[in-house]
Amino acid sequence: MLEIKNLNVKLEEEDKQILKGVDLTVEAGKVHAIMGPNGSGKSTLSYVLSGRDGYEVTDGSALLDGDDLLEMEPEERAAAGLFLAFQYPIEIPGVGNMTFLRTAVNAQRKARGEEEMSSTEFLKLIREKAKELKIDTEMLKRPVNVGFSGGEKKRNEILQMAMLAPKMCILDETDSGLDVDAMKLVADGVNALRDAGRGFLVITHYQRLLDHIKPDVVHIMADGRIVKTGGPELALEVETQGYGDLAGEVA
Amino acid sequence: MALPKAKLDATEARLASMTRPEGGAWATAAREAALGRVRDMGLPARRDEYWKFTNPESLVQAEAPLAALFEADEAPIFDEIDRLRIVFVDGVFDADASDDLTGENLSIERLVDAAASDIHWAKDLYGVLETAGQTPVQRPLAALNTAYATDGLVIHATGPVSKPVSLIYQHRSESSDAILHHVVKVEAGASLTLLENGPAAARFNKVMEVDVADTGTFHHVRAQGRDHERRAATHIFARLGTESVFKSFTLTANGVMTRNECVIELTGDDAVAHVAGACLGDGDFHHDDTVFITHDAERCESRQVFKKVLRNGATGVFQGKILVKPGAQKTDGYQISQSLLLDDDSQFLAKPELEIYADDVACSHGSTSGAIDEEALFYLRSRGLPEGIATDLLTLAFLAEAVLEIEDEALQDAIVSRIEGWLARRRG
């Protein structure tokens, strides 16, 4: 589903190489996790894939179902089925959550040549999904993420994911700033979306999220590369030994 | 003090091109006094401090610059609203196109008729609030209006008025130069909503004097016409009694030159005055909001909320003042002026002022200029919103604080759909 080959990325503004040849393939139906120390390039990978400004791809490729992601605008990537759950969801005063989501759902449908979702259909669906994530419908009427707690913001990301039903979901440090209960709620939301046609890339610093979202494959990233790949046991290894040894093995 | 020669000449040149309308004794006296004020002050010139950011030349010169007629491609605003329609064409009342000037708790007369009578309640307001508003800052174009206004309405609300009174200003001549003067009196316990829309003329000078008695309520929503070449200098002078409410909102989309002045005096305790504006300018566009609110009573609240969206070299100006007089304790004053600059060519000039002579007040003011928030834009696009739609959504969000000052939701919707239309036409 997601095929990343030899991805090299530097910052646009300064001559600093962040990703130094990332190779990664996520298959449909699988959950891959990327773990790594701070500054290893995990978040950069998520931003480059979703099309944020400020990065320059100097080499390599990233394909989603064979389509070149790097050639697309952010909204085209979204319509193609890519979704990034932000580490720090943005507050947008003045834009209602509901308006935002309905516009997003229908913009994607339109881009794919599908029929737009009616208001009734949309309302029914969002109420259902919000309930599963224990999101108060009052919260949906408020401006996007404004006045939301850390946990509410993350749940709102998962709600967006559920409504947009992407093929490929990237979760960037979704566990940061969450207590155990909130994390469990978010994980349940993610697990409910797991299915044979959908791939997940879960970026996290700590192993604890992976107790709730069980990965099929775990990658360790250090200094802009994937340095080790293994099964779920690799995450436990990080938990007990830290990143020092793992990163050192290759260096 | 003698006026500088250039100013004197410009003033006399303009006066020479004008004819004062006929009227009864009270109206003639008011007009003569106003003419005296114009001659004392002289018409605004570029070097005047109060016109530092806006060149008054085209508003002052004897001949109105031509303004091409504009064919709007959308249904007229407020069409969905049940209202009393009153039409002016190039500044002249059009009886055939207007509804009957009657309504419950409401009396409306043309200024020409009120001015012709020997005795009229309007005598106590016509030019009176304008005169009061000349201190401490001179507003000569308003005095010029009082002296020469050829048409207008005197509106008297004696109780709750159910339907909004809607003034529709049509522009049909490229060279029209219209001067309208309205007087509005809202009695104790009465309420009135006044709507205004349309470009009015190639050049439009309008004064509205509003007296809101104790516990009266006055709402005003205005959409200035979309004609690109039109020019306007408008003044609102309002006097607010105890526990009265005054709320005014203006949408300005397009217009080569607009100066909207609003002068409010809170004279009774616990009165509320909100003035808000949203403007959208693209290219040859100059828009100036000049507001002066005087607190002269206790526990009054005033808000000024002005938002400007500017692109392709458009200019926005805001001069806003809150004056708190001695003894106006527990004043709650708020003022915000912000611009969203959609490119590097546009500019926003702001002069926020507070002058406070009471020691127990809460006044705040802020002014900002900025571009679209890139973080927010990326967030929206990452969810599939095309860049243009995402930008429009953020622009609407930027304007929201001003638009939300309109209390009535149907009127709010009417304004929002205008803004959406303007943005959509520029999305390309």
Q: How far apart are CA A156 and CA A150, in angstroms?
A: 10
Q: How far apart are CA A249 and CA A243, in angstroms?
A: 10
pLDDT confidence of residue A248: 58
Structural domain contains residue B382: no
**How many domains is chain B partitioned into structurally?**
1
Residue with tokens 């940061």: A176
Reported ipTM: the value is 0.95
Instruction: Give how far B355 is from chain A: nearest CA, Å.
Output: 31
Closest to B309 (Cα-Cα) out of B170, B403, B205: B403
Q: How far apart are CA B227 and CA B270, in angstroms?
A: 40
Structural domain contains residue B329: yes
Q: Which chain A residue shows the shortest CA-CA distance from B381? A: A75
pLDDT confidence of residue B198: 96
B304 close to B336: Cβ distance less than 8 angstroms: yes
Q: Which chain B residue shows the shortest CA-CA distance from A90? A: B376
Q: How far apart are CA A101 and CA A160, in angstroms?
A: 7
User: For chain B, which ranges sit under pLDDT 70?
Assistant: 1, 428
Q: How far apart are CA B125 and CA A172, in angstroms?
A: 65
Using CB atoms, pick whichever of A79, A94, A111 lies closest to residue B400: A94
Structural domain contains residue B399: no
Q: Where are the beta strands (DSSP E) in B225-285?
A: 231-240, 245-253, 257-266, 272-282
Using CB atoms, pick whichever of A73, A92, A164 lies closest to residue B379: A92
> What's the pLDDT tens digit per position in A209-234?
999 999 999 999 999 999 999 999 99
Within 10 angstroms of residue A189's Cβ, the number of other Cβ atoms is 23
> What's the pLDDT tens digit per position in B354-392?
999 999 999 999 999 999 999 999 999 999 999 999 999
pLDDT confidence of residue A239: 81
Indicate the pTM of the whole model: 0.92
Q: Which one has a higher pLDDT value, B223 or A136?
A: B223
B3 in reach of chain A (CB within 8 A):
no
Q: In which region does residue B162 sit, left (phi positive, over 0), alpha (psi from -120 to 50) or beta (all else)? A: alpha
Omega of the bond leading into A93 within 30 degrees of 0 (cis) = no
CB-CB neighbors (< 8 A) of A73 in chain B: 381, 386-387
Within 10 angstroms of residue B164's Cβ, the number of other Cβ atoms is 22
Q: How far apart are CA B185 and CA B114, in angstroms?
A: 14
Q: In which region does residue B203 sit, left (phi positive, over 0), alpha (psi from -120 to 50) or beta (all else)? A: beta
Give residues with Cβ within 8 angstroms of A239, minimum separation 6.
Answer: A206, A207
Using CB atoms, pick whichever of A84, A103, A143 lies closest to residue B382: A84
Q: Which domain holds residue B184?
A: 5-372
pLDDT confidence of residue B72: 80
Closest to B26 (Cα-Cα) out of B183, B141, B216, B140: B183
Mutation target among A82, A90, A158, A167 for the B interface, most CBs of B within 10 A: A90
Scored b (16 or more CB within 10 A) or e, B216-234 reads bbbbbbbbbbbbbbbbbbb
The band of A176, judged by pLDDT with boundaries at 50, 70 and 90, is confident
Using CB atoms, pick whichever of B381, B398, B399 lies closest to residue A74: B381
Structural domain contains residue B324: yes
CB-CB neighbors (< 8 A) of B382 in chain A: 50-52, 74-75, 77-78, 83-84, 86
The band of A247, judged by pLDDT with boundaries at 50, 70 and 90, is low
Mutation target among B368, B382, B403 for the A interface, most CBs of A within 10 A: B382
CB-CB neighbors (< 8 A) of A94 in chain B: 394, 396-401
Question: Are B380 and A104 an interchain contact pair (Cβ–Cβ within 8 Å)?
Answer: yes
Structural domain contains residue B395: no
Give residues with Cβ within 8 angstroms of B369, minimum separation 6.
Answer: B338, B339, B341, B348, B350
The band of A187, judged by pLDDT with boundaries at 50, 70 and 90, is very high
pLDDT confidence of residue B135: 95
The band of A249, judged by pLDDT with boundaries at 50, 70 and 90, is low
Question: Are B385 and A103 an interchain contact pair (Cβ–Cβ within 8 Å)?
Answer: yes
Q: Which one has a higher pLDDT value, A149 or B37?
A: B37
Q: Which chain B residue shows the shortest CA-CA distance from A52? A: B378
Q: Mean pLDDT across chain B, nearest whole number?
A: 96
Within 10 angstroms of residue B189's Cβ, the number of other Cβ atoms is 15
Residue with tokens 């020691």: B359
pLDDT confidence of residue A251: 41
Cα A132 off chain centre by? 20
Model confidence at A250: pLDDT above 80: no
Q: Mean pLDDT across chain A, nearest whole number?
A: 92
Structural domain contains residue B172: yes
